[in-house]
Structure formats: structure tokens, C-alpha cells
Chains A and B, each alone.
Chain A
């Protein structure tokens, strides 16, 4: 079994040399995250799983011709997104119908309750969370990719097929909107910070 602490680029190079153990390591490392992302793009969870598997299949089948991506995570996420979009598009054509919202990012952010110890924080976080989940799908997706998948702006832009400025705008507009609604309540809180830590 190859070392799971190896950097992605090295795992990728091993896979190019037919190393099945490295492939297993990469699969185990990213499958859960990719499935989570896939499920937030479609309600057909079977389809999401299929597309994640196909993205991985492609790596093995094309391994000799694939260049090592700058970010393996971004590469995989983009692969899953592209496949799901393609499959949903095909389904639409064949079913002559359009499922409203299918293919749109439906992920709902869940607060990190285990890190919240006091009621005031809980209240604030809950309110922010509600606002977050009301943001337009694309803003939510950008935030998810930035803070759940740790992609940088350029990677988000490539994945969402927009230019980096637009990706940056999606992120900032989302956060700005939330703060405008919410920040009014913040004035008195700054002083409390030292108490909690």
C-alpha cells in the first residue's frame, strides 16, 4: 500500500507507472469528498456515484497520457461536475423535460456545532448559517469550493467555467450580502471575544 501521506502529484506519477496501490490511495482520499460534491449537484445519488467512479476510471484508463494536474483535488472536482452536467443534459434531451433546479448546487451548509460552546455564538452562527443557505446557488457553490474543498480563486473559476474575477465576485458578493444583513448585531460582540478564549 502506498503511503497515504505522499503528495498528490507523487501519487499521480506512480499511477502513471501502473501503480494500483497509489490509485487505491488516491481513490480513498478523494472519493468521499467527490461523492459529497456530486450529491449536491443532483438528487439522483446513484448518478452522482456513477460520475465519481467514471472520473476515477478515466484516470486509470488514460493514465499514460494524462499530465499531472496542478491540483488533483480541483481536477477531480471538475471531472465530477462536468460529467454530472453532461449526464443531466442528456437525460433532459431524452426525457423531453426539464427538472427545475437539477444540476444546480443544492448543498446546505451545516454549522460546526461541536466547536460552539456558548449560546451567543450558537445564535450568531445559526443566523449566519440561515443566511448562507439562502444565497443563490452559484454563490453557495463558490463558497463551498473555497471553504470546504480549499480551492483557490483560479481553480474555482476554471471549475465553474467563469473568469477569475467573476469567481472572486461570487465569493465576495455572498459574504458581503450576509454581513450587511447580519453585521448590525455585531457591535456589542467584539468585547466578548477575550472571554471565550
Chain B
């Protein structure tokens, strides 16, 4: 609206240029001149000026120092929040899960990555975290396995006492995580981005597969057990030393790395106790949907809520293997019907369905 047509004090007050003139003295719109030429507006303008001066302008509620301090606290709280066990009843919690793609439920912030310095080229030390990327640390201090879903869709089941750290966003060429303790991995397949698991002594490289690593700090050995796919295990060696021994593992093979002798041993007669997820069979032939869900529940330590009545008479034949949990759920839900969807709230899966085909 043209200022010539202003008829109220409010119109002057709402005029950004007028306010700027009153508050800062900068007369970019030529108000002095304009008011001289428009004497009939002088009274309104003067009233508006007094009012603006009386209302004042925004005074900062914090200094730059206080602001930065609050920013630091906020980051700290964000990390704390991302790694806290959340009560499932908390409304809208699933949105958090969806938003940060962080399904880990470990307690505490595991920042100290113990990692021997100096490596050869093929086992290069993961690039230092760039200023823009902070690592996520998970420590499972509970008594039950924790499911961790990574940004690339991979699933990790972290056993009690296990510590895991990984970047918020994986690098373009490779996916690197650090582990201390025991964990089972289901890596989403991507040949262009190998998946590397670093423990104190060895590095395990895969492209897409499932395997288990047991690397407790207080144990003399590190164990790698492969369920499906192909896995390469190497010793992490100081720079300049001879090329690292590379052990190739195929399904159902395992290897132990003896820390004291720095050697790999194939534990031929060793009976490695299997975790639920490793011995459970995901081949289903005409199985009730409820059975499939309860198998997934025991394998991944999650709870699955689904409409029992709606899905009572639904049967599926499907062969699931080493896909990460999210992929398994997606396959199952898509097989039931297009009206079936799931979402995750921490260790809790909620399936909504309008029925089966």
C-alpha cells in the first residue's frame, strides 16, 4: 500500500521502512522529505513514531558466548537423546527413529575408540571425522542384545557389553564401523562400498553378507563366524611391515585370531555356540504370518505388534536369508498385501494391515 493512502497509526507502525527510520535513523525511504510534502500525515506519523519508540526493539536475550555455550549443551543433549533407551509409550517416538535413522538403544556415549595407529594401505585407518560428521557411539550395557540399524540399511545385533561406533553418514567409498565385544552383522549389499569392521587387532571386510564377530577386550582371541556370503579378515598392522595375512571365510566358516601370537587359527574342533539369529531358519512355506513374525522377534530381539484378527488367515511362502531386518520386514509386509506397512519404534515393530491378498 502506498504511504500516501495511510490512514491509521498501525499502517505506519507496520511499514518496515518507517520502522527502520525510527529505530535506526536510516532514512532510506526519504521520510523527512515525504512528511514535509504531506503535512496531513504528520500527526499520524508522529504518533506512530512515539509508539514505535515506546515499544522498543528486540533486545537479545543472550550474549554470543552464552549462545555458543547453549549450542554446545544442545549438541550434547542431542547425542544423549539419540542413544537413550526410550520408553515405548512416548508419543511420536517413531518419528524420531525415522528421522535420525538411529535405532540403536545402547546406553551412554562411547567416544573412546581404541584403535591401533598405523596401518597398511589396504587396511587404512578410517579417515578422521570431518568437522561436519560426528560418530555415533553405542554401548549395550543391558542384559539383552541390542538391535542397531545403520544408515545404509545394514543391521547389527550388539550383544550385552558390546561397544560400537560408526559415522552418522558413511563415506562414499566405504562403510566403516568399530567394534569391541560381540556383534552379529547383516550387511546390505553394495559392491561399490565395502563394509569394514575394525576391532583392536583385525579388520573384517565384506560386501554384503552376514557374520558374527566376537572381540572382547578381555579375551585372548577374536572370533569371526560367517553365516552367509564371503568375508575377508586381515590383521591390522603397523605401517611398513609386511603385507597383512588375508583370511577368506565362506558360509559357516569361522576363524580365531590369537592376540598373543598375532596368528589366525581355524578353530576346527571348536564348538562356537550360535546365537538365535544364526540357527533360526527364515525359509517359510505356507507359514502363518504370526509364525514368521515370532521368528523375527526371537532372531532380532524385537517385539512385533500386528493386527492379529486381520492377519489370522494369512499364510506366506518366502525365503529370507541374510537381508537386514528392515529388508526382511519390507519383504514380508509387501508379500502380505499392498495395504500392509510397518514402522519401527526402537526395538518395537508396528505392523499395520488391511488384510492379505
Chain A residues engaging chain B, CB cutoff 8 angstroms: 18-21, 24, 27-28, 31-39, 49, 52-54, 56-57, 60-66, 109-112, 115-116, 121, 124-126, 128-129, 132, 143, 146-149, 171-172, 175, 178-179, 183, 186, 189-194, 197
Q: Please pick, from B10, B62, B68, B78, the residue contacting A175 in the complex, using a CB distance under 8 A.
A: B10
Q: Are B46 and A190 in contact (CB under 8 A)?
A: yes
Select which of B55, B59, B70 is within 8 A of A147 by beta carbon.
Answer: B55
**Residues of the A chain whose Cβ atoms lie less than 8 Å from the Cβ of B272:** none
User: Which of B95-103, B177-185, B240-248, B300-308 sits within the interface?
Assistant: B95-103
Supposing A24-B71, A115-B22, A194-B36 touch, asked if A57 and B77 sit within 8 A by C-beta, the answer is yes
Q: How far is the CB of A29 from chain B (nearest CB, A)?
A: 9
Residues of B contacting A20 in the complex (Cβ-Cβ under 8 angstroms): 131-132, 134
Q: Is the CB of B71 within 8 A of A149?
A: no
Given contacts A56-B74, A61-B82, A121-B50, contact A190 B61 (CB under 8 A): no
Q: Are A121 and B67 in contact (CB under 8 A)?
A: no
Closest to A186 in B: B47
The reply to whether the CB of B87 lies closer than 8 angstroms to some CB of chain A is no
Near A by CB (< 8 A), chain B positions 41-61 give 42-43, 45-47, 50-61
Q: Select A35's contact among B61, B82, B96, B101, beta carbons within 8 Å.
A: B61
Flag B145-189 by CB within 8 Å of A: 1 or 0 each: 000000000000000000000001100000000000000000000
- Given A32-B67, A53-B73, A171-B10, A60-B56 contact (CB < 8 Å): no
Q: CB of B17 within 8 A of chain A? A: no
The answer, yes or no, to whether B32 is at the interface (CB within 8 Å) is yes
Say yes or no: A125 contacts B54, CB within 8 Å: yes
Interface residues of B in 164-223 (CB under 8 A from A): 168-169
Pick the contact of A179: B23, B47, B56, B62 (CB < 8 A): B47
Q: Give bound CA distance, A66 to B92, whole Å.
A: 13
B273 within 8 A of A: no
List residues of B whose CB falls within 8 A of some A CB.
Answer: 9-10, 13-14, 19, 22-25, 31-32, 35-36, 42-43, 45-47, 50-64, 67-68, 70-71, 73-74, 77-78, 81-82, 95-96, 98-101, 131-134, 168-169
Which residue of chain A has the shortest Cβ distance to B45 in the bound complex? A193
- Do A63 and B99 have beta carbons less than 8 Å apart? yes
Q: Which of A36, A49, A115 contacts B58 (CB 8 A)?
A: A36
**Shortest Cβ-Cβ A-B pairs, 9 listed:** A36-B61, A32-B60, A35-B61, A128-B54, A190-B43, A129-B54, A62-B99, A148-B58, A32-B62
A-B contact pairs, 17 of them (CB 8 A): A18-B133, A28-B71, A35-B61, A56-B74, A62-B100, A64-B101, A66-B99, A111-B53, A112-B57, A115-B24, A121-B53, A128-B50, A175-B10, A175-B13, A183-B47, A191-B42, A197-B31
Residue of B nearest to A30 (CB): B67
Q: Are A27 and B99 in contact, CB atoms less than 8 angstroms apart?
A: no
Contact A109 B55 (CB under 8 A): yes
Interface contacts beyond A57-B78, A121-B53, A189-B46: sample of 14 additional A-B pairs, CB < 8 Å, sorted by A: A18-B132, A18-B169, A20-B131, A32-B60, A53-B70, A61-B82, A62-B95, A64-B98, A66-B99, A128-B53, A132-B54, A171-B10, A190-B43, A197-B31
- How far, in Å, is B48 (CB) from chain A's closest CB? 10
Of the residues A37, A147, A186, A194, contact of B52 by C-beta under 8 Å: A147
When distances are taken between beta carbons in the complex, the residues of chain B under 8 Å from A132 are 54-55
- B78 contacts which chain A residues (CB < 8 A)? 57, 60-61
Most buried by B among A63, A66, A128: A128
Q: In the complex, which of the residues B52, B61, B63 has the most CB atoms of chain A within 10 Å of its own CB atom?
A: B61
- Provide the bound-state CA to CA distance between A63 and B46, in Å: 46
Given contacts A172-B10, A175-B9, A190-B42, contact A109 B73 (CB under 8 A): no
Identify A111's interface contact among B56, B100, B134, CB under 8 A: B56
The minimal Cβ–Cβ distance linking B357 to chain A, given in whole angstroms, is 30
**Distance A112 CA – B47 CA, assembled complex (angstroms):** 15
**Complex: A191 Cα to B42 Cα, angstroms:** 8
Question: Are B50 and A124 in touch, CB under 8 angstroms?
Answer: yes
* Bound-state Cα–Cα, A193 to B321, Å: 84
Q: List the A side residues contacting B74 at CB < 8 Å.
A: 27, 53, 56-57, 60
Contact of A143 among B43, B55, B81 (CB under 8 A): B55
**What is the CA–CA distance of A27 and B31 in the complex, to the nearest angstrom?**
35
A109 contacts across to B, CB distance below 8 A: 54-56
Point out the residues of chain A lying under 8 angstroms from B51, CB to CB.
128, 175, 178
Q: How far is the CB of B337 from chain A (nearest CB, A)?
A: 25
Which of A112, A149, A178 has most B Cβ within 10 Å?
A: A112
Q: Which of B50, B55, B61, B81 contacts A61 (CB 8 A)?
A: B81
Establish whether residues A61 and B99, one from each chain, have CB atoms under 8 Å apart when the complex forms.
yes
* Smallest CB separation, A128 vs chain B (Å): 4
Q: Chain A residues with Cβ under 8 A from B46's Cβ?
A: 186, 189-190, 192-193
Cβ of A113 to closest chain B Cβ, rounded Å:
9
Q: Which residues of the partner chain A approach B35 to less than 8 Å between Cβ atoms? A: 193-194, 197
Inside 8 A of A19's CB, which chain B residues have their CB?
Answer: 132
